[in-house]
């Protein structure tokens, strides 16, 4: 069964979380921890690749390469942010093909104008409903694997309110895509309105767990009981890495610039190499070195 088909199987017995993976190491850690699927965030990718905030600075091909590196090290289905599709209709279709080629199984396309911003930033602008529907149809037509899962995302809550978000997602559902996602709902009441009005459309609903202060902080079970089928935990691994490395470096510099000062914060050398697969690499090398 392909990874895309396995993602669709997950949706038959919800709920589950797509754990954020901002690089190959975090992808392997997520799989080791028991995650059922991964999420590659544009916010995290922009930070890792460019060291900048998520203001649409990454190119389509930079994101493609980033997704490809993550997909190579995991067997899990990968849900990859596709931003606005990086332009018009033809760009959206190329994004669809590239994300498939990279190994992703799911993407979401958002209805922001370019240059886009993180959904939890202020100052977003939206394209028309008609333009977004055209892009979604174009992506669907460009899809080669029928199991690849396309999610329509709206950022309308912060721009025009919850009713506008529901109107947009209702229209997007009519294009024949696979899932719906309203980013940055601001209350439990918003979540109830989204599920109550959108659930009858028959498409899985996605919740974003990002701890930005915009949305309620809820467990997977809590959002499932509110009508959402699955969730993203998109940027928390990146933030955990930032905090841990920041504190380690500050301690190292403050405490005489000695690794003794940070030894208790470090994964042992041998343990990390075991995690990275050194034993298997050595065994492979020896097998071919001794082959007749």
Displacement of CA 215 from its chain's centroid (Å): 17
Rounded CA Rg of the chain = 20
- Closest C-alpha among 189, 184, 194, 136 to residue 163: 194
Q: Helix (H, G, I), strand (E, B), or coil: what is residue 237? A: helix
Six-digit token string for 263? 């030894």
Q: At what angle do helices 24-33 and 60-72 cross, to 10 degrees?
A: 40
What residue spans of 186-277 are helical by DSSP H? Answer: 188-198, 220-225, 236-254, 269-276
Six-digit token string for 227? 């009508």
Q: Could you give the CA distance from residue 198 to residue 211 in angstroms, rounded to a whole number?
A: 24
- Closest C-alpha among 78, 80, 74, 76 to residue 60: 80
CA angle 252–256–257, rounded 5-degree value: 45
Q: Could you give the CA distance from residue 246 to residue 242 in angstroms, rounded to a whole number?
A: 6
Q: Could you give the CA distance from residue 182 to residue 151 in angstroms, rounded to a whole number?
A: 10
SS3 annotation, 52-99: CCCCCCCCHHHHHHHHHHHHHCCCCCEEEECCCCCCCHHHHHHHHHHH
Catalytic residues: 39, 54, 81, 83, 108, 110, 118, 153, 186, 208
- Closest C-alpha among 164, 88, 154 to residue 124: 154
């Amino acid at each position: 069964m392909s990874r895309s088909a396995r993602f669709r199987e997950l949706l038959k017995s919800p709920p589950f979380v797509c754990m954020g993976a901002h690089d190959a190491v975090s992808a392997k850690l997520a799989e080791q921890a028991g995650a059922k699927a991964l999420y590659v965030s544009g916010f995290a990718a922009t930070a890792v690749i460019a060291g900048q905030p998520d203001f649409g600075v990454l190119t389509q091909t930079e994101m493609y390469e980033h997704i490809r590196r993550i997909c190579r090290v995991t067997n899990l289905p990968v849900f990859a942010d596709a931003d606005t599709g990086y332009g018009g209709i033809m760009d959206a279709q190329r994004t669809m093909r590239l994300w498939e080629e990279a190994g992703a199984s799911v993407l979401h396309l958002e209805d922001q104008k370019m240059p886009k911003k993180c959904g939890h930033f202020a100052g977003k602008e939206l394209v028309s409903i008609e333009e977004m529907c055209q892009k979604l149809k174009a992506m669907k037509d460009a899809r080669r694997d029928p199991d690849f899962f396309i999610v329509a995302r709206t950022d309308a809550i912060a721009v025009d309110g919850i009713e506008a978000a529901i109107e947009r997602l209702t229209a997007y559902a009519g294009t024949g895509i696979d899932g719906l996602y309203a980013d940055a709902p601001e209350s439990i009441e918003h979540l109830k309105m989204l599920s109550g009005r959108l659930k009858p459309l028959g498409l899985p609903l996605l919740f974003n767990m990002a701890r930005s202060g915009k949305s309620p902080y809820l467990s997977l079970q809590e959002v499932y009981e509110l009508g959402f089928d699955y969730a993203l935990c998109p940027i928390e691994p990146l933030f955990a890495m930032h905090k841990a490395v920041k504190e380690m470096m500050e301690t190292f510099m403050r405490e005489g610039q000695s690794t003794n000062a940070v030894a208790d914060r470090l994964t042992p050398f041998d343990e990390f190499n075991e995690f990275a697969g050194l034993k298997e690499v050595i065994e492979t090398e020896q097998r071919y070195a001794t082959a007749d």
